[in-house]
Structure 1
C-alpha cells in the first residue's frame, strides 16, 4: 500500500468517531399538543432530544395510543454498540498501518454488513413499539398500528412523524466509502506494478 492510501484508511476508521459526537438518527414528531414539534435523537449509546423534556413528552403522546414508554434501558444495543464502533476504529487504524489490502476489503464489507444489521434492528424497534399496543389505551382504532417511518415522513392519525439519519451516520458512510476507495486504489496500483514487471521480464 502507498503511504497516502494508508492515511486514507486511517481516516476511514477515525470517521466512525462521528458516532460519538452526533446522533445516528433523528425522529421528528408534530402533534396538535406540540405544534412546535418534538425531536428525538438516537445516539450510539443513549436516547436524548433537542431539550430535556422531549423524551418525557414522547412518552406522554405514546401513552394515549398505547405504546410502551421509551427508555434507554429498554435497548440493550445501546450498551454494546459503543464497543462495536471502537472495535472498528481500532482495527481500521491497525489495518491502515499494516497496509494489507485484503484486510481493507474485509473491514469495509464487515462495516457494511454491521451498518445494514443496525438499520434492520432499528426497524424492528419501530415495529415493536408501533404494534405492541396496550388494550387499555385512551385512543384505540381497530386494526391501527403506529409504526414510525424508518426513513421519510408518515401520518399517524393526527401525528406527523419524520425520520432522518443524523450526522453520526455520516461516519459510517464515510468509513465504508473511503475504505472501498482505498481498496480500489491499491488494486489499481498493484495491477500497474504487475504489468510493469511483466513488460520488464519480456524485454
Structure 2
C-alpha cells in the first residue's frame, strides 16, 4: 500500500475514533450566577444526555437546580426523556463513525466526499437543533408559572444577562473533538482529490513521458 493510501486510511480511522470518543465528553455547557447562587449553578450537554457540569462539586447546584428554576418560570424540563435529540444524535454519530471506517477500507472517488457531506449535514443539523431547542425553551413558557418573565433566547455562547442571573455558555471537548474529526475527514477528501487527479493525469499522459 502506498504511503498516501496508508495516511488516508489512518486519517479516516482516527476521525472515526474521535467521533466515538466525543460522546464521552460534554458538547456544551451553561452556568448561571446570582446573589442566591454565589458559586453558580450549571448544566452540561453530552451527545447522549444532559447532566451536571464536570465541576459540580464546586457549584451550588447542577441540572436538578436548573430544572427547578425552569419550573418556576414555566420552562419545560431539560431531560433525556423530553428531548428526542438525545436518542437520535448518538445513533447518527455512530453511523458517521462507521461511514469513516467504510471510506477508509473502500477507496473510491465518492467515498470520502460522501462522508464529508454526511458529516457536514450532521453538523448543520446539530446547530439547527441546538438553536431551535434553546429558542423553544425560552419562548414556550407556561402562562400559569409562578414567576412571569418575557420570552427570551438563552445564550449559545458567551456571557448574557437574564433577569437577575448572569449566564455563561460555551462549547466543550465533545464538540471540539467532532470539529477535529471533520477536519481530518476533509484532509482525506483532499488527499483523494489530489491522488485521483494524479492517477488520471498519469493515464492520459503521452507515451514516453
Q: Same fold (TM over 0.5)?
A: yes
**2:180 is the counterpart of 1:174:** yes
1:30 to 30, 33, 49: 33
Unaligned runs of 5+ in 1: none
Superposed CA deviations along residues 25-78 of structure 1, whole A, max 9, x for unmatched, are: 111211222121122111111111133951111022223322122222101221
Distance 1:76 1:3 in 2: 39
Q: CA RMSD in A?
A: 1.9
SS in 2 for 1:75: coil
Q: How many Å separate the matches in 2 of 1:134 and 1:174?
A: 40
> What does residue 189 of structure 1 align with?
195
Write out per-residue CA displacement over residues 129-160 of structure 1, whole angstroms, 9 at most, x where no aligned residue.
Answer: 1011122333324xx22321122222111111
Q: Give the secondary-structure state (helix, strand or coil) at the position aligned to 2:207.
A: helix
Distance 2:68 2:181 in 1: 38
Provide the aligned length of Structure 1 versus Structure 2. 201
Q: Which has the higher contact order (CA 8 A, sep 6+)?
A: 1
The equivalent residue for 1:45 is 48
| Contact 1:101–1:183 (CA under 8 A) maintained in structure 2 | no
Contact 2:109 2:196 in 1 (8 A): no
Give the equivalent residue in structure 2 for 1:135: 143
Larger displacement relative to structure 2 (47-56 or 149-158): 47-56
- Shift of residue 100 of structure 1? 2.1
Deviations for 1:4-42, whole angstroms, at most 9, x for unmatched residues?
A: 111111111211023221011111211222121122111
Of 68, 74, 85, the residue aligned with 1:77 is: 85
Q: How does 1:80-119 map to 2 (within 5 A)?
A: 80-119=88-127
The whole-number CA distance in structure 1 between the counterparts of 2:123 and 2:31 is: 22
In 1, Cα distance between equivalents of 2:206 and 2:183:
35
Higher helix share: 1
Q: Assess if the C-alpha contact under 8 Å between 1:18 and 1:167 holds in 2.
A: no
Pairwise CA distance, 1:111: 0.7
Report the Cα offset of residue 186 of structure 1.
Answer: 2.2
Q: TM-score normalised to the size of structure 2?
A: 0.87
Q: Secondary structure at the match of 1:17?
A: helix
